[in-house]
Amino acid sequence: MSAKKDVFICHANEDKADVVRPLVLAFEEADISSWCDEAEIIWGDSITQKVNEGLRISRYVIVVLSDSFLEKNWPQRELNSALHLEASTGEVRVLPLLAGTRKTKKHILNAYPILNDKFYLIWDGNPQTVVDHLKKRLGKQNAFSGDPLRFAGFRPKLNRIYRS
């Protein structure tokens, strides 16, 4: 059995170049361990066995929700498995990451109404945003890079107060 991972990345292959690979690189730089199919599955492996193992050993499952995701059976099966694990343990497992338009969001929430209850992130092309939120979820110190007051929206207010 492989070592425990912080996060499993569930995605459609079409999202690999623009979303998944930048995330994996950012996670590596932030010392966040991740399970991604192209790094974990090699020639001759049982895909089902490897994916099941990845889901078992990962603390969280980031689900890259896109139009491509909705067209693929495999990532939807991964999401269903992660939702089942979440429901059976009562612990947060699924971390939705919306990579698409408002129309995409509507289609996804229509297909998976259970996700309506979840706080989700919107992919803005900056993997650091995901890293910052994931660090907070993992309980790692210094969860937000840069000025934490600016991130929380307080710095401009403080500047106005102290300049008065």
Q: Which of 28, 29, 53, 78 is catalytic?
A: 78
78 tagged catalytic: yes
Tell me the DSSP string of 13-38.
GGGIIIIIHHHHHHHHHTT--EE-HH
Position of tokens 């500047």? Answer: 159
Q: Vertex 77, ends 81 and 108: CA angle to 5°?
A: 100
Query: Other C-beta atoms within 10 Å of 38: how many?
Result: 12
- Which residues carry out catalysis? 78
